[in-house]
Amino acid sequence: MDISLHKSGNSEASAIHEMQIKAFMPLLDKYRDFETSPANESVERIIARMNQPFSDYYIIKDSNIAVGAIRILRKDNSIYRVSPIFILPEHQGRGIAQQVFAIVEQLYSEASAWELDTILQERGNCYLYEKLGYKRTGKTEVINDKMTIVFYEKIL
């Protein structure tokens, strides 16, 4: 594996949007979270986020093939947030996300803490984040009767 991150701008918004739909559609089908699912977001919403001065988008590549994306938000007091990160289904389970988090932590070495959230019912996601050193904050948000969002932080 040769994982790299490529900072993205508006010209990559359509490619990110396409991958995001593909990556999140299985979860949308499973949880029916039409208001909150990234699979339901418009390309215009991605462009608006790209243009936020506190937001960085990266396309995740494995040997120069796009396999996903990650967005980093800079908050106050050297706190950063990951929202979203996704790997295309056919590339999942190969350790790509773990490498991406390692790269991101190097890129943003001034961070004092990281935040993210995920679906509580997606045990694999929770396991991954906990393995990477993220701790549950205790905050949850019930989206519907099938799905709850759980919030994580990693203090450095």
Percentage with pLDDT > 90 across the chain: 99
* Alpha-carbon distances, residue 53 vs 10, 106, 127 (angstroms): 13, 20, 32
Provide the whole-model pTM. 0.96
Look at the chain and report how many structural domains it folds into: 1
Position 1 confidence tier, pLDDT thresholds 50, 70, 90: confident
Contact between 96 and 68 under an 8 Å Cβ cutoff? The reply is yes
Q: What is the pLDDT of residue 114?
A: 98
Q: How far apart are CA 156 and CA 12, in angstroms?
A: 31
Residue span of the structural domain in which 30 resides: 3-155
Instruction: Please give the average per-residue pLDDT across 101-122, as a whole number.
Output: 98
Q: How far apart are CA 86 and CA 98, in angstroms?
A: 12
Q: How far apart are CA 125 and CA 43, in angstroms?
A: 25
Beta strands in 10-100 (DSSP E): 55-62, 65-74, 79-87
Kindly report, residue by residue over 25-39, the tens digit of the pLDDT.
999 999 999 999 999
| CATH code of the domain containing 20 | 3.40.630.30
